[in-house]
Amino acid sequence: MWRYLLLFLGFLTLTFIVWHIGPGKIYEAATQVGPGALLVILVPSLLMYAFEAYGWKLTLDSAAHGIAFWRIFAIRTAGEVVNMTTPTAYVGGEPLKAYLLQRHQIPMVEGVASVVIAKTIMTLAQVLFILVGIGLAFWMLGAEGSSSQIAAASLLSVALLLFGVVAFIFVQKRGLFMWILRTLRGLGLHVAFLENREEKLRSLDEIILNFYTQHRSAFYAATTLYLLGWLAEAVEVYVIILYLGGPASLLSAISIGALSVFIKGGTFFIPGSLGAQDGGNLLLLKAFGYSDVTGITFALLRRFRELVWIGIGLLCLAAMGRGQKRHTTRLG
């Protein structure tokens, strides 16, 4: 119930922002971006999805040799639909990815391990990207005033998040899932679902540990790919601002893109971060000297990109569903 309330409040917030700035002004700014430009705006996000899909493929190691890259891309895109449309801290689609991998002869244990590792690496790259963005904000906006105070608070928050990610990797190396099981037992809690899968949980921990200790080159390569994916998002910011009349700066685009990611992550409890993400983008662009109209038009164009990828993800899910149905019919 509460998620629908948050969604409704987010919708009201976005509606109020649009009404306050003026729908006519926003429409006039949006008309500067033609159909061709809309396609160009989608290119950076395509690169982002491709980088991240390949980064995930590296975490699968030898298990990924028998599955084509475009299938991994489609599975990841399908899982991201759930991440983007549900208030699950952007992890709700991860089990779906592992489930869909089973259709390509990748055991559930290996699929879950790859999902955990990939999500950890993606978050690590995300934190590094945000740190760069905050540093650029300090440098570009100056060290005085409310903007610097906001940046300082953001820096502290991200530093704590980085510590959390590193600590999470440390725990994974020492057996995350068995640690959870032992902790529950120590508290006198016996969860049947976990108890019945103790051997699988132990195997899961072994696969994760093996990746971190025996495949360090894959870890660094995947981290680089995920970081390139986040930088592709900054390119998207640059392209949109350029089409809206600029002036566009690549460094400011990196900072805006990184801080936008930070805002989106901080409002995960709102479905689609509706309202909060849009208002945050508006305030970010205003801080960098852009007008209200440019700020909200920028936010709406990014929403357009999200809707396109949600549509693509739903098509991927539908296609995989039909494929599974045909496979089941043949077996029957």
Residue 176 forms part of a structural domain: yes
Q: Could you list the residue range(s) of the whole structural domain that residue 256 is in? A: 36-331
In three-state form (DSSP H/G/I as H, E/B as E, the rest C), the secondary structure along the chain is CHHHHHHHHHHHHHHHHHHHHCHHHHHHHHCCCCHHHHHHHHHHHHHHHHHHHHHHHHHHHHHHCCCCHHHHHHHHHHHHHHHHHCCCCCCCCHHHHHHHHHHHCCCHHHHHHHHHHHHHHHHHHHHHHHHHHHHHHHHHHCCCHHHHHHHHHHHHHHHHHHHHHHHHHHHHHCCHHHHHHHHHHHCCCCCHHHHCCHHHHHHHHHHHHHHHHHCHHHHHHHHHHHHHHHHHHHHHHHHHHHHCCCCCCHHHHHHHHHHHHHHHHHCCCCHHHCCHHHHHHHHHHHHCCCCHHHHHHHHHHHHHHHHHHHHHHHHHHHHHHHHHHHHHHHHC
Q: What is the pLDDT of residue 287?
A: 82
Predicted pLDDT of residue 228: 95
Structure tokens at 188: 């006198």
| 141 in any annotated domain | yes
Its pTM stands at 0.85
Distance of alpha carbon 5 from alpha carbon 16, whole angstroms? 16
Sign of the dihedral defined by the CA atoms of residues 19, 25, 26, 28, in that order = positive
Q: Is residue 7 part of a domain?
A: no
In a domain, 9, yes or no: no
Is 12 domain-assigned? no
d(CA 259, CA 265): 10
Query: Is residue 273 a part of any domain in this protein?
Result: yes
Q: Identify whether 200 is part of a domain.
A: yes
Phi, psi at 246, each rounded to 5°: 60, -155
Can you say how many angstroms the Cα of residue 37 is from the centroid of all Cα atoms in its chain?
24
Question: What is the model's pLDDT at position 186?
Answer: 82
Q: Is 31 domain-assigned?
A: no
Check residue 154 and give its pLDDT.
66
Name the domain count of the chain.
1
Residue 140 half-sphere exposure toward CB, CA atoms < 13 A: 20
Q: Measuring CA to CA, how many Å separate 137 from each of 50, 122, 151?
A: 28, 22, 7
pLDDT digits (tens), the chain, 332 positions: 666 676 667 778 778 777 877 777 777 777 777 778 888 889 999 999 999 999 999 998 777 777 888 899 999 998 888 887 776 656 677 888 888 888 888 888 888 899 999 999 998 998 889 888 888 887 777 655 455 555 666 666 777 777 788 887 888 888 888 888 888 888 887 778 878 888 888 888 898 888 888 888 999 999 999 999 999 999 999 999 988 887 888 888 998 888 888 888 777 667 777 777 888 888 888 888 888 888 888 888 888 888 899 999 899 888 887 766 555 444 44
Rounded to whole angstroms, how far apart are CA atoms 10 and 271?
A: 9
